[in-house]
Amino acid sequence: DAGITQSPRHKVTETGTPVTLRCHQTENHRYMYWYRQDPGHGLRLIHYSYGVKDTDKGEVSDGYSVSRSKTEDFLLTLESATSSQTSVYFCAIRSLAEAFFGQGTRLTVV
Amino acid sequence: QQQVKQSPQSLIVQKGGISIINCAYENTAFDYFPWYQQFPGKGPALLIAIRPDVSEKKEGRFTISFNKSAKQFSLHIMDSQPGDSATYFCAAGNAGGTSYGKLTFGQGTILTVHP
């Protein structure tokens, strides 16, 4: 699992509430990524980081923000959750020539 | 919009058969083409990857065939086993710089291998 821990693993939240997902890595990787997985869409990049406090938008960044104040933690925040953000969220790191994914967080917005 | 189109959506094969999954991409700047395998409740795991300077790469029972002129690549699973039953994703991206890890994924193929 390349030392990646996502938390929580499951969450149910109400529409309009803020939600923060955490990705923690133990191997000092510089590059980290947040993807969402939806049926029929594969995985789509939300945001990524190439260092502490260095982040950029991905393909589907609207409604999401990220922060990286420490190398080991990359946080994904839904400022005001909507039903369209119900999904499985994956964190990934870059190690040498490969991308490794965490176990995922299943988020349900009701 | 950069896209990677994957087919078929689902595939059923018998044990010992060959599973073939196809992908097509649009962006000629892509230079890294990985395949991921995902089991239920797990994150995607890298299976095999290819760069466009070769037309084929084989690792065990898994082979990637790459056609640069057609902008297509495919995964072949030889002697398919029930344990290969999973969802497979193709992806495309760039192997260097800050773009690495920014992968564009196909829609996924659910493979079922019957005993």
**Going edge to edge, which strands form the sheet with B4-7?**
B4-7, B19-25, B72-77, B62-67, B56-59
Residue of B30, B19, B16, B13 whose CA lies nearest to B106: B30
* CATH number for the domain harbouring residue B47: 2.60.40.10
SS3 (DSSP) at A25 = strand
Separation between Cα atoms, residue B26 and residue B40, nearest integer Å? 29
pLDDT at position B98 is 66
Indicate the residue of A1, A99, A102 with minimum beta-carbon distance to B101: A99
Tokens 């969402």 label which residue?
Answer: A36
What are the phi and psi torsion angles at A12 (to 5°)? -115, 130
- Containing A2, the helix (H) or strand (E) segment is none
State which residues form the domain around B93.
Answer: 4-62+79-114
Tally of structural domains, chain B: 1
Domain presence at residue B98: yes
Separation between Cα atoms, residue A31 and residue B9, nearest integer Å? 31
Q: Chain B contact for A42, CB < 8 A?
A: yes
What's the whole-number mean pLDDT along residues A75-89?
97
pLDDT at position B70 is 96
Out of A71-85, A87-101, B5-19, B34-48, least confident range: A87-101
Contact A50 B98 (CB under 8 A): yes
Domain presence at residue B15: yes
Q: What residues 51-70 of chain A have any CB closer than 8 A to a CB of chain B?
A: 56, 58-59
Question: How distant is the Cα of B24 from the closest Cα of chain A, in angstroms?
Answer: 14
> What is the DSSP secondary-structure string of chain B?
---EEEE-SEEEEETT--EEEEEEE--TT--BEEEEEE-TTS--EEEEEE-TT-SEEEETTEEEEEETTTTEEEEEESS--GGG-EEEEEEEB-SSGGGTT-PEE---EEEEEE-
Look at residue B1 and tell me whether its pLDDT is greater than 60. Answer: no
Q: Could you tell me the sign of the dihedral formed by the alpha carbons of B86, B91, B94, B99, in that order?
A: negative
pLDDT at position B97 is 67
Look at residue A9 and tell me whether its pLDDT is greater than 90. Answer: yes
CB contact at 8 A, B91 and B21: no
- On chain A, the residues whose CB falls within 8 A of the CB of B4 are 42
Mean pLDDT of chain B: 93
Contact A43 B89 (CB under 8 A): yes
Higher pLDDT, A27 or B78: B78
Question: How distant is the Cα of A12 from the closest Cα of chain B, in angstroms?
Answer: 17
- On chain A, the residues whose CB falls within 8 A of the CB of B3 are none
What's the whole-number mean pLDDT along residues A99-109?
95
Contact B46 A100 (CB under 8 A): yes
Q: Quote the tokens at residue B58.
A: 């084989």
Query: Hey, what amino acid is at A91?
Result: C
State which residues form the domain around A43.
Answer: 4-109
Look at residue B60 and tell me whether its pLDDT is greater than 70. Answer: yes
Look at residue B100 and tell me whether its pLDDT is greater than 80. Answer: no
Mind listing the pLDDT tens digit for each residue in B21-59?
999 999 998 999 999 999 999 999 999 999 989 999 999
The strand pair at A10-13 and A105-109 is best described as parallel
Shortest CA distance from A40: residue in chain B: B107
pLDDT at position A32 is 94
Tally of structural domains, chain A: 1
pLDDT at position A21 is 98
